């Protein structure tokens, strides 16, 4: 809890978080996959949006909150109807929703393809069908929800590129679908890792992803995460 102060006059989390990240870095390392051959050029302009699903949204959100050029990351639901975009219903696996994140990013600093490169390198295992690690069900599926034709072309070409190069031992099963709607998750899910860095699930499943981000993408890693709650 960041309101707790002790001894050295620093927030408790500020001291413990780097230690936890260091411990997490001893987990089985991920590998940096090749960059997409087809990507949008980095150019000045308004913020753009990317919507990705790769397992529990706590860890996916936390990774992108540490990425240079990312201005905000919302945890939420995509793929179903707004009526059932609620955690208790989505968790049942029958709503059509996937736990997703909406990433607002500066296209002059980071490209859409770079976000996908991080997605396939450290965020999740894109060869698992309707699950990620201990989380099982279609709500944890791997999906890219494109918001325009350019994103669709980049995503489809990138998956084909990685499959043709046999980057993974199994074929990528990530679904590329047009975004029909993104519905923000309940407030207690936002910035969940930042608020609960010592939760065993977080320590085991999600902190290693942030450690891998810093190791594999040092040019894109930022130590201080952006937050939904500012």
Q: How far is CA 224 from the centre of its chain?
A: 16
- Under a CB-based contact definition with an 8 Å cutoff, are residues 215 and 27 in contact? no
* Domain around 49: 5-216
Inside any domain, residue 53:
yes
> Considering the domain boundaries, does residue 112 fall inside one?
yes
Residues sharing a CB contact under 8 Å with residue 204, sequence separation 6 or more, in sequence order = none
In a domain, 222, yes or no: no
Run of H or E including 74: strand 70-78
Number of domains in the chain: 1
N- to C-terminal Cα separation, the chain? 16
**pTM (2 d.p.):** 0.88
Write out the chain's pLDDT in tens, 230 residues: 233 222 323 444 544 555 455 544 445 679 999 999 999 999 999 999 999 999 999 999 999 999 999 999 999 999 999 999 999 999 999 999 999 999 999 999 999 999 999 999 999 999 999 999 899 999 999 999 999 999 999 999 999 999 999 999 999 999 999 999 999 999 999 999 999 999 999 999 999 999 999 999 999 999 999 999 76
Answer whether residue 228 is part of any domain. Answer: no
The pair of three-digit structure tokens given for residue 191, joined into one six-digit string: 């910035």
Angle, vertex CA 136, rays to CA 17 and CA 124, nearest 5? 50
Q: How far apart are CA 164 and CA 115, in angstroms?
A: 20
Question: Which active-site residues does the annotation give?
Answer: 56
Nearest to 100 by CA among 182, 156, 207, 189: 182
Q: What is the CATH number of the domain that holds 24?
A: 3.30.1060.10
Alpha-carbon gap, residue 116 to 159, rounded angstroms: 10
Residue at 172 is within a domain: yes
- Asked, for residue 80, whether it belongs to a domain, the answer is yes
């Amino acid at each position: 809890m960041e309101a707790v102060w002790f001894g050295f006059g620093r927030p408790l989390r500020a001291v413990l978080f780097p230690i936890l990240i260091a411990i997490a870095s001893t987990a089985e390392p991920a590998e940096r996959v090749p960059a997409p051959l087809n990507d949008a050029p980095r150019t000045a302009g308004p913020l753009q949006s990317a919507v990705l699903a790769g397992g529990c949204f706590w860890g996916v959100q936390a990774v992108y909150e540490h990425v240079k050029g990312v201005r905000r990351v919302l945890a939420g639901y995509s793929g179903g109807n707004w009526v059932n975009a609620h955690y208790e219903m989505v968790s049942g696996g029958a709503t059509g929703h996937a736990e997703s994140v909406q990433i607002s990013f500066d296209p002059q600093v980071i490209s859409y393809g770079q976000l996908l490169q991080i997605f396939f390198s450290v965020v999740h295992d894109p060869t698992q069908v309707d699950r990620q690690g201990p989380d099982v069900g279609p709500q944890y599926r791997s999906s890219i929800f494109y918001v325009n034709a350019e994103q669709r072309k980049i995503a489809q070409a990138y998956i084909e590129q990685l499959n043709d190069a046999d980057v993974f031992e199994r074929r990528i099963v990530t679904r590329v679908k047009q975004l029909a709607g993104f519905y923000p998750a309940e407030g207690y899910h936002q910035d969940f890792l930042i608020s609960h860095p010592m939760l065993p699930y977080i320590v085991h499943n999600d902190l290693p992803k942030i450690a891998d981000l810093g190791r594999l993408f040092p040019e894109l890693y930022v130590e201080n995460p952006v937050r939904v709650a500012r």
